[in-house]
Structure 1
Amino acid sequence: MKFLKKNQNNQTYTYTQEQNLRRLSTDSLDDVLREFGSTAQGLTAEEAKTRLEEHGPNIAKTKKQHTVISRIIEALVNPFNIILLIIAIVTYITDVVIADTADYATTLIVLLMVFLSSVVAFIQSRNSDKAAEGLKQMVANKTDVIRDGKLVEINIADVVPGDVIKFSAGDMIPADVRFISTKDTFVSQAALTGESAPVEKFDTSGDPDVALTDLVNIGMMGTDLVSGTAIAVVLYTGQDTFFSSIATSLSGEKAQTSFERGVASVSAMLIKMMLIIIPVIFLINGIIKGDWFSALLFSVSIAVGLTPEMLPVIMTSTLARGALAMSKRNVIVRTLGSIQTFGEMDILCTDKTGTLTEDKIVLEKYMDLTGQDDTRVLRHAYLNSYFQTGLKNLIDIAIINRAEKYNFPEIIENYTRIDEVPFDFSRRRMSVILEDKTGKRQLITKGAVEEMLAICSFVEIAGQVRTIGEDERKLAMTTYEKYNNTGLRMLAVAQKNEVPDEEHFTIADESNMVLIGFVGFLDPPKESARGAVEILREHGVRTVVLTGDSEGVALKVCEKVGIDVQTYVLGTDVEQMSDLELKEVAQHCNLFSKLSPMQKKRVVSALQEDGHTVGYMGDGINDTPALRQSDVGISVDSAVDIAKETADIILLEKDLMVLEEGVLLGRRTFGNIMKYIKMAASGNFGNMIAVVIASIFLPFLPMLPVHILTQNLLNDFAQMGLAFDNMDEDFVQKPQKWDVKSLKSFMWIMGPLSSIFDVLCYIILWFEFGYNSMTTAPYFQTGWFLFGTLSQILIIHMIRTGKMPFVHSKPAPALLFSTLLVGIVALIIGLTPLATVLDLKQMPLHYLFWLCILLTLYSLSVQIIKKIYQKHIGPWI
């Protein structure tokens, strides 16, 4: 999103959305009000009406609004459906138009496949629309603005740039604003950053080079005030807001993965080959044989045989089987195609909070001012947290939980609470006044370090209390900064024994305190995080952390989960980088911190531009642009609804080790689909060559249409077992990527090889058996039917592994059963009187001898080619 602004010399400058917000955060308040044609007293009702007509309603919009009809059309038009529709047309011609008895079964089945694939695509596209629409529901309905000098309540849709809004605790910020005045204003930005801790906002300018969400005088749509009051002027509304940019990022179509692009390109290539070869076959047979109707029927049948109609079926069944396996591990697969993308993934980008970590606070350290563990500090912190009567926050709960391990709860009966001074965001500390059974009183305070130092006159070091001097203050700050820089959230603990004999206490009593130490808190990594990162690394998947949190906290988490961080990049750095510079940095950087949602998306995109298949794991609204951009989006059951709507895969449990299963399963799925694609591409190419040769040299058709269709049906059934096949272990140990160049090489080598043995079969049938006339044509057709069917079964087992089949790599029982059954059926058809049912002839038994020789030589040739191919060209699958 771009914005234009003219300077004093009337020159026009173009700003990006983030640059513009930074500029407005540093401009003087008078300049900002002047730019938006407003004052601290707000707009008039007439001005607001005019601006509403100019800017439109204050609603987060997407770039493109999709209707149900447009989504249906998009779902219908894709390469897979084009293939299936061509098949439907062909089968309608052969089975209905020119058939003696009309048979609609095949055509209806193919059209059903088109319907089902379209329904799946339609549902997925509507899910993305729902994710974008869901963001609109994140904004409140009403807000208070100053119009005509009076405070009025209006619908947030009617807020316009220049409006002055008055906020109080609990209000949601309905637009991008610049604060005019603040008082103890703390804003929750969890919707944008994923971090639950509120941040304080001011009416003064701060550092413009911090993360966008850290601009101290800027509030953004979708965030809300948790305490204090504020007055702000509206900068941007509706689709011009930063929040709306997230919705816009969700509205576009998710980019195709390399696998999807590869499958589409192969499908298109096979269709082009079919459209070129079929007319050639038709003309050759019509001219040479003189029977144009038979030539047409034969050509149409060849078209059916050359079309990879089983590709959608095998893909769907293989992916569905993977989804079922994942569901048994409490993993929901929302997008079937994402399973095989898991197999391609070589980089997993992940948010920190709630994904690598538990999204809860635990007490990690309790220490004196020198950094040494000190249970006395923990005991005082525990008494403070236990006796405070307000709502216990996550920090209090963490202290109480840790103290239970030291039996501190047993000392509670020794104390009575006299009074307390509650926590507030302005002083950022809280105190309790306790009295023991001897009547001795003490005041215990815990809070933010700088605010605590302001009320402490003494420190306690090694049991000695002394006045705070420069050395003592330096020691305290050194210890604090040391642990704060490791990612711990540090609070100071202080106490004093000279407490007046009164019943009520105030903030004024928080003085002349003795600083005794610190407590440090951490959002701990999930127990399975380190193991998951390690196992993914072993499988060739690099983990990159993209977080909105500070670099110190993120570094600590990376260290604990085993992510090697040599350097890190901040969101402010990312904003200054070009796409090319970011791509170069992302090659070796494993930690990006203080990122905005769109910066996370940019990093994912940069990695993809560098040729990586990128997964992203996140659970917040701030993660949705990156989830959408990634090749496979992963979320968790506790994630916000929009993140789950955007994700492809949802983990129902906290165990991240399931990621390993997803990766391995994805690679097995990828491999089994690739087996079929390589068989289809090379087999169809070889069949084209063989049919052209046969059409030129034979005085009759090498097979009748009914033979081709029957053989095609048998081969399809045999290949169905591929969905359940095993994959070699060395294949699943590393990321697998689609390689169109390798596929073409495979097709150009294996296609002609199969044609060579088809021609050898022709020669044997022609010369050895004498099937070289029109009267013996049925025998020739039967012989080629048998060889073609059995060689296709054989090639399934030869292509399915780069090793020696059956010896070093065993097929799955389902594949073994399907191929064995088809082989038996083919032999029964060709070697028994049942052959006449298909206008074939029963072959003599000694033809089996020649079949065995041909199939053995074919197997040996493939195995030799396989070794040469893997040595000089690349992986077999």
Structure 2
Amino acid sequence: MDKNKIMGLTQREVKERQAQGLVNDFTASASTSTWQIIKRNVFTLFNALNFVIALALAFVQAWSNLVFFAVICFNAFSGIVTELRAKHMVDKLNLMTKEKVKTIRDGQEVDLDPEELVLGDVIRLSAGEQIPSDALVLEGFAEVNEAMLTGESDLVQKEVDALLLSGSFLASGAVLAQVHHVGADNYASKLMLEAKTVKPINSRIMKSLDKLAGFTGKIIIPFGLALLLEALMLKCLPLKSSVVNSSTALLGMLPKGIALLTITSLLTAVIKLGLKKVLVQEMYSVETLARVDMLCLDKTGTITQGKMQVEAVIPLTEEYGEHAIASILTSYIAHSEDKNPTAQAIRQRFVGEVAYPMLSNLPFSSDRKWGAMELEGLGTVFLGAPEMLLDSEVPEAREALERGSRVLVLALSQEKLDHHKPQKPSDIQALALLEILDPIREGAAETLDYLRSQEVGLKIISGDNPVTVSSIAQKAGFVDYHSYVDCSKITDEELVAMAEETAIFGRVSPHQKKLIIQTLKKAGHTTAMTGDGVNDILALREADCSIVMAEGDPATRQIANLVLLNSDFNDVPEILFEGRRVVNNIAHIAPIFLIKTIYSFLLAVICIASVLLGRSEWILIFPFIPIQITMIDQFVEGFPPFVLTFERNIKPVEPNFLRKSMLRALPSALMVVFSVLFVKIFGASQGWSELEISTLLYYLLGSIGFLSVFRACMPFTLWRVLLIVWSVGGFLATALFPMIQKLLEISTLTGQTFPVYLVMMAVFTVIFILTSRYQSRK
């Protein structure tokens, strides 16, 4: 081997490569850039349509009706500021979990960020770490999980001169490797981006709103032209009035309010969770959390503390006493580069002189459930799960498993170790059992019970013996502790058939963990998975939402939707319920926003259809102007819904968000349409002026909106009553203020219009109560 390679690059060589651009500057940041945030908030379909309408109003100098665009600008600005705050929080928390790469330069080991690597750098990688750049193995042996690149769950063995692909993970072993490609030249640069960042999460709310926006976006231009031509050519209205009335109809059809509030609510949740030391790497995962009805738990580090300790060593043969067994274990663990919690517990217990030199090593694998090492003067030593290495059950092992301990067997063989086809030897001899205890996490029982009471299904998926897992689950208060299966003894087909009904899965391989999640998803469940080990990666990626502990393997942290920086499983309920709060509150207040979308569409259709009546006096022009809609929005769609989104609401999320919200908004929208038609016809018959008609319609429109606000505030509390008083008071104060009346083109209700207002609102209130009760029973 070239000794200069092991010495690594010199500083002069590093600077030369940096000058040549041979730097690994292709990064896969989970955080969006400032420019992306600005684009996402500014260059949207909503903003584009509003901008065109604003240009049309500016062209006819309808300046007072441009107030709505100030609100659009403020919302965009607020979205940018909120996202930048969230980005700052994410970036700050990411610094706490960002992994350095051990790099050898000038013969010294230094820790570098992945993007600081240059072509030819020598890096040291160990189990659980992600490969930052394509590299050739110089020294060592490892088994690599390339599932992120190939989709295959089988581990790939890597020896000297083998190519390590960026984006894959070391499942076991440790190597020295030389960077072979950097930046965009990496074989898996695009796949690395996919593997390191969180997979896209479908937001059902935003998908529903996108469907609605797509529909309105298609009809808004032809509707706008039709309304404009109708006003100009058939009603012979001035250009300014025609543009103003047509613009109001188009603005009302755009469901911009609910979309903006949804994004703001999700971003607020990201910030709140960040303050609770929960790193959210994808905003829409908050919504997915709300819909989780099946939580799959990895035992280690979630129900238990993940702080293992060797409780006892039980000799199984008189040939090897306690001293001899301790000597073998001391040599084995001293040579081993395994860094999993079990290995660390053994390493802590067995410290001393190394009696046996190592000839070769096969690191522990979560697929095999065992590791092996050939020791000079002794033979091949195996350490792993008894059921994977021994043909018959050991009674002492069963007793330890029933106590909730993890059990390993130390065994010996005289057969040579075969790295290419690792298998259990025929002459294996069991020497001793190691009983390893992992204490149950404080508060785990209460957490499991609380989740179950909130209709969240629970399953435990573990690589441990199912008897051990069942015993621990029983101690933790897990109701279905008796429902378990040993996955090492069943086929994939049997596992699929048992996935729905079984509660505890033991001896699960990484592939089987993924299969369980897939099966639950096909059964209609929204799944969340907690884990902390590299053997959980496939299942974490498959789950709808992945939650990992900060103390876990670096690989899991980089692909997770959420990282618990406190590594406390007891935080999980609060995280789930934060998602429920956002989604339930948005669904609760959505009808308030959709009333305007529905009545604007219906009135626009009626206005266009009225042309067919053939008489100009029967042609209906859209009855509202933008400044009126904007003013009402501040007191109906603005402050009340925003405040209500912060209220605690942890009930399970109901499906069909858009359909249910549209149905709840429909009665109010029909009331608005009826009000316009009735007041126009009745007012004309009574000789009312346009100002009187406009004033009555303004009050009716605001009052109908407040009916939905009242419903959203039920049951009434002091805070909600104060919210209603503030909103209604603000609406009346602005409507009665002379200067604002002039802007709104309204006056005060008269002796003729006020009684009509009272009668209509009395009838509407009764209808609203009856329809609301009917809908609540369905």
Q: Normalising by the residue count of structure 2, what TM-score does the alignment of the two structures yield?
A: 0.66
**Residue of structure 2 equivalent to 1:523:** 438
Partner residue in 2 for 1:752:
670
1:866: how far off? 1.8
Q: Counterpart in 2 of 1:795? A: 708
* Cα deviation code 1:130-157 (max 9, x no counterpart): 99xx999768679xxxxxxxxxxxx997
Residues 173-184 of structure 1 mapped to structure 2, 5 A cutoff: none
1:725-740 equivalent positions in 2, closer than 5 A = 725=644, 732-740=650-658
1:341 partner SS:
helix
1:729-762 CA-partner distances (Å, limit 9, x unpaired)? 8x63323444444345445555335433444444
Q: Does 1:257 align with 2:175?
A: no
1:635 to 1:112, Cα distance in 2 relative to 1, 3 A: farther
Q: Residues 863 and 156 (structure 1 numbering): CA distance in 2 closer, same or farther, change over 3 Å?
A: same
1:533, 1:285 → 2: CA distance? 64
| Cα 1:862–1:68 shift into 2, 3 Å | closer
Q: Report what 2:11 is aligned to.
A: none
Letter in 1 for 2:254: T
Q: Where does residue 14 of structure 2 map in the other structure?
A: none
Aligned counterpart, 1:205:
none
Alignment deviations for residues 590-638 of structure 1 (CA, whole Å, 9 cap, x no partner): 4556666676556545544443323233334555555455443323333
| Partner residue, 1:331 | 278
Within the candidate set 273, 277, 291, 2:237 is matched to 291
Question: Aligned pair in 2 of structure 1 residues 790, 822: CA closer, same or farther (>3 Å)?
Answer: farther
582 and 308 in structure 1: CA distance in 2 versus 1, 3 angstrom threshold: farther
Q: Distance in 2 between matches of 1:119 and 1:646?
A: 26
Tell me the distance in 1 between the aligned counterparts of 2:542 and 2:727. Answer: 41
Other structure's SS at 1:616 match: strand
Paired with 1:282 and 1:304, the residues of 2 have a C-alpha distance of 14
1:671 aligns with 2:584: yes
- Cα distance in structure 2, aligned partners of 1:557 and 1:217: 39
2:72 matched residue in structure 1: 110
2:634 is equivalent to residue 716 of structure 1: yes
SS of 1:819's partner is helix
Measured in 2, the distance between the counterparts of 1:224 and 1:665 equals: 34
Alpha carbons 2:299, 2:462 under 8 Å: kept: yes
Residues of 2 paired with 1:76 and 1:598: CA distance? 40
TM-aligned CA deviation for residue 117 of structure 1: 5.2
Residues 171, 736 of structure 1: CA spacing in aligned structure 2 closer, same or farther, 3 A cutoff?
Answer: closer
What SS does structure 1 have at the residue aligned with 2:44? helix
Counterparts in 2 of 1:826 and 1:384: CA distance versus 1, 3 Å: same
**Residues 604 and 630 in structure 1, CA contact (< 8 A), matched pair in contact too:** yes
Letter matched to residue 750 of structure 2: P
Instruction: Give the Cα–Cα distance (whole angstroms) in 1 for the partners of residues 749 and 767 of structure 2.
Output: 26
Which amino acid letter does the alignment assign opposite residue 675 of structure 1? H
How far is the alpha carbon of 1:298 from its aligned partner?
0.8
Q: Decide whether the 8 Å contact of 2:533 with 2:556 is kept in 1.
A: yes
Q: 2: CA distance between counterparts of 1:629 and 1:85?
A: 37
Identical residues among aligned pairs (%): 14
- The 1:632/1:782 distance shift into structure 2, 3 A limit, reads same
Q: 2:555 & 2:346 partners in 1: Cα distance?
A: 33
Query: What aligned pairs does 1:331-730 form with structure 2 within 5 A after superposition?
Result: 331-362=278-309, 477-484=394-401, 488-490=405-407, 520-547=435-462, 551=466, 554-561=469-476, 562=478, 564=480, 566-568=483-485, 570=487, 586-591=499-504, 600=513, 603-623=516-536, 626-640=539-553, 643-690=556-603, 692-693=605-606, 696=610, 707-719=625-637, 720-725=639-644
CA-atom RMSD in angstroms: 6.2
Aligned: 1:304 with 2:223: no
Matching residue within 726, 733, 750 for 1:825: 733
Q: In the alignment, is the contact (CA less than 8 A) between 1:571 and 1:592 conserved in 2?
A: no
In 1, distance between residues paired with 2:36 and 2:268?
A: 28
**Structure 1 residues 271 and 136: alpha-carbon distance in aligned structure 2, compared to 1, 3 A threshold:** same
Q: CA deviation at 1:839?
A: 2.9
1:218-233 map, 5 Å: 221=164, 222-223=169-170
The answer to which of 672-681 and 746-755 deviates more is 746-755
> 2:295, 2:456 within 8 Å by CA — same for their partners in 1?
yes
Instruction: Determine if the alignment matches structure 1 residue 98 to structure 2 residue 60.
Output: yes
Q: Are 2:158 and 1:212 equivalent residues in the alignment?
A: no
Shift of 1:260: 2.9
Structure 2 counterpart of 1:34? none
Using the size of structure 1 for normalisation, the TM-score is 0.60
Say if 1:649 and 1:722 are closer, same or farther in 2 by CA, change over 3 A.
Answer: farther
Q: Which residue of 2 aligns with 1:742?
A: 660
Report the alpha carbon displacement of residue 213 of structure 1 after superposing the two structures with TM.
4.5
**Within-5 A mapping of 1:830-869:** 835-844=741-750, 847-869=753-775
Distance 1:68 1:655 in 2: 24
- Report whether the alignment pairs 1:86 with 2:49: yes
1:291 CA displacement: 1.8
Contact 1:614 1:632 in 2 (8 A): yes
Deviations 1:481-508 (A, max 9, x none): 4435876334799xxxxxxxxxxxxxxx
Are the counterparts in 2 of residues 259 and 738 from structure 1 also a CA contact under 8 Å? Answer: no
Q: Residue type of the partner of 1:521?
A: I
Structure 2 counterpart of 1:145? none
Secondary structure of 1:734's counterpart equals coil
1:204 maps to none
Displacement after TM superposition at 1:871 (Å): 2.9
Residue number in structure 2 paired with 1:15? none
**Structure 2 vs 1, CA of residues 864 and 86 (structure 1 numbering), >3 Å: closer, same or farther?**
same
Residue in structure 1 matched with residue 367 of structure 2 by the alignment: none
Contact 1:835–1:841 (CA under 8 A) maintained in structure 2: yes
Aligned partner of 1:564: which letter?
D
The 3-state SS of whatever aligns with 1:543 is strand
Quick check: 2:577–2:650 contact (8 Å CA) kept in 1? yes
| Partner of residue 269, structure 2 | 322
| CA distance 1:619–1:367, shift in 2 (3 Å) | closer
Gaps of 5+ in 2: 1-22, 106-116, 362-371, 380-389, 411-430
Q: Structure 1 residues 550 and 69, CA, compared in 2 at 3 Å: closer, same or farther? A: closer
CA deviations over 1:249-279 (Å, ceiling 9, x no partner): 4468513232332232233234345445444
Structure-1 separation of matches of 2:195 and 2:344: 38
**Corresponding letter in the other structure for 2:50:** I
Residues 833, 547 of structure 1: alpha-carbon distance in 2 compared, 3 angstrom cutoff: same
Within 2, Cα distance between the matches of 1:379 and 1:631? 50
Counterparts in 2 of 1:140 and 1:558: CA distance versus 1, 3 Å: farther
Contact 2:487 2:495 in 1 (8 A): no
Indicate conservation of the 8 Å contact 1:349/1:616, yes or no.
yes
**What is the CA–CA distance in structure 2 between the aligned matches of 1:171 and 1:339, rounded to whole Å?**
27
Secondary structure of 1:785's partner? helix
Deviation readout 1:614-669 (Å, 9 max, x if unpaired): 32333345555554554433233334555445434332334433322222332221
Among 680, 691, 696, the alignment partner of 1:778 is: 691
d(CA) in 2 for partners of 1:121, 1:727: 18
Task: Give the structure with higher Rg (CA).
Answer: 1
Structure 1 Cα separation of the partners of residues 516 and 457 of structure 2:
14
Deviation at 1:99, TM superposition (A): 0.9
What is the CA-CA distance between 1:540 and the residue it aligns to?
1.5
Q: Partner letter of residue 307 of structure 1?
A: L
**Structure 1, unaligned stretches of length 5 or more?**
1-58, 143-154, 160-166, 194-209, 370-376, 403-416, 429-447, 456-472, 494-514, 873-877
Whether the aligned pair in 2 keeps the contact of 1:346 and 1:541 (CA below 8 Å) is yes
Match of 1:254, SS state, is coil
The question of whether the paired residues in 1 share the 8 Å contact of 2:143 and 2:157 is answered with no
* One-letter identity of the residue aligned with 1:260: M
Which digits, 9 at most, give the CA deviation of each residue in 1:655-692, with x for residues without a partner? 43332222233222112222343232243212432455
From the superposition, tell whether residues 604 and 288 of structure 1 become closer, same or farther in structure 2 (CA, over 3 Å): farther
Looking at structure 2, the residues matched to 759 and 121 of structure 1 have their Cα atoms a distance apart, in angstroms, of 43
